[in-house]
Amino acid sequence: MPARVPRVTRIDAIVLRHRRLGEADRIVTLLTPLRGKLDAVAKGALRPRSKLAGHLEPLAHVEVLLAHGRTLDIVTQAQLRDGFPALHADLDRLAGGLYVLELADRLTVDRAEVEPVYALTLLALRRLALGDGLQLVSRSYELALLDATGFRPQWRDCVGCDTPVSAERASWSPLAGGVVCSACLATHAEAVAIDSGVLRVLRAFQDGPYEQAARIRLTPELAAGLERTMHALMRAVTERALGTARFVADARRPSAAAPAPAAPSGPPGAAVYTREQD
């Protein structure tokens, strides 16, 4: 009786991470639009002359041919579609790209439907490679990813009673996922104050299109506040510390004193968020 021909799939993927398997093989974690997140074995990927090694590094956008195995799929071919060299040439953008990958990894489960997450992740990497502002891309990606995975934060209405919350003297809870009104503070002892400017920018990023968010100019103080707030929220959602979040902060720290804004200044007349705006 002839052997059964292995079933194969040709599919696009983003390489999230990899780990060693034995002396010469690797297990790569792929984010795919049709089959979700999956692990696959890249046989011989650690050998010097392997044709797979250079195509299966984190941040790579690839087309792979997968043979379906009993436990893990096997990568039989890989073609690099975009290695995002611009990210590897800049430490800040590399840190931002790795942060995007870690969030995609933490907020997806194996073999589940993740086509919106795949599209958002690929778009974020492309925007970083094109030179869009790190704050703009990171904050927009975080908010869109939370929305796509069912964790949309509430920046306008109280998480306890759905009452609209003013940006002035507002409090918020990372664990509850949004702002808390004064009447609900007693039931959210973990809630802390949130800067009004930070809250207004988060509302604008969440509610408006990307192009509109790109017109917002951020002061270094606002940019730092946005980063602290969203990193706290992502830690609460993923229920663990994110290693690349610290990498992002450390990579940016040497230029923290620079007068240039953390996000693109935008065209003349771009909005500047201050404490007086609502």
Residues 214 and 115 reside in one and the same domain? yes
Distances (CA, A) of 234 to 17, 174, 266: 19, 8, 27
Q: How many angstroms separate the CA atoms of 92 and 94, rounded?
A: 5
CA-to-CA distance for 105 and 144, rounded, in angstroms?
A: 15
Structural domain tally of the chain? 2
- Provide DSSP, 73-89: EEEEEEEEEE--HHHHT
What is the reported pLDDT for 253? Answer: 60
In whole angstroms, what is the distance from residue 10 CA to residue 35 CA? Answer: 11
State whether 136 and 25 are in the same domain. no
- For the chain, which residues score pLDDT lower than 70? 1-6, 246-247, 249-278
Residue 276 resides in a domain: no
What CATH number should be reported for the domain holding residue 47? 2.40.50.140
Quick one: three-class SS letters along 163-202?
CECCCCCCEEECCCCEEECHHHHHHCCCCEECCHHHHHHH
Give pLDDT, residue 252.
61
d(CA 118, CA 3): 35
Amino acid identity for residue 6 in this structure: P
58: tokens are: 């984190």
Q: What is the pTM of this model?
A: 0.85
Q: How far apart are CA 49 and CA 209, in angstroms?
A: 46
In this structure, the answer to whether residues 66 and 120 fall within a common structural domain is no
- Do residues 79 and 200 share a domain? no
Query: What's the pLDDT score for residue 259?
Result: 42
Q: Are residues 151 and 185 in the same domain?
A: yes
Both 19 and 123 in one domain: the answer is: no
Q: Are residues 34 and 73 in the same domain?
A: yes
Looking at residue 51, what is its pLDDT? 83
Q: Which of 32, 25, 39 is nearest to 61 (CA)?
A: 32
Assign residue 171 the CATH number of its domain.
1.20.1440.120
Rounded to a whole number of angstroms, the CA Rg of the chain reads 21
Cα–Cα distance measured from residue 169 to residue 260, given in angstroms and rounded to the nearest whole number? 28
**pLDDT of 151-201, one tens digit each?**
999 999 999 999 999 999 999 999 999 999 999 999 999 999 999 999 999
Of 42, 137, 41, residue with least CA distance to 87: 137
Range of the domain at 73: 8-83
Does a structural domain hold residue 48? yes
Q: Report which of 99, 123, 129 is spatially closest to residue 227, judged by C-alpha positions.
A: 99
Contacts of residue 73, defined as CB under 8 A and 6 or more positions apart, other chains included, come to 9, 38, 39, 40, 41, 66, 67
Name the residue among 142, 144, 162 with its Cα closest to residue 238: 142
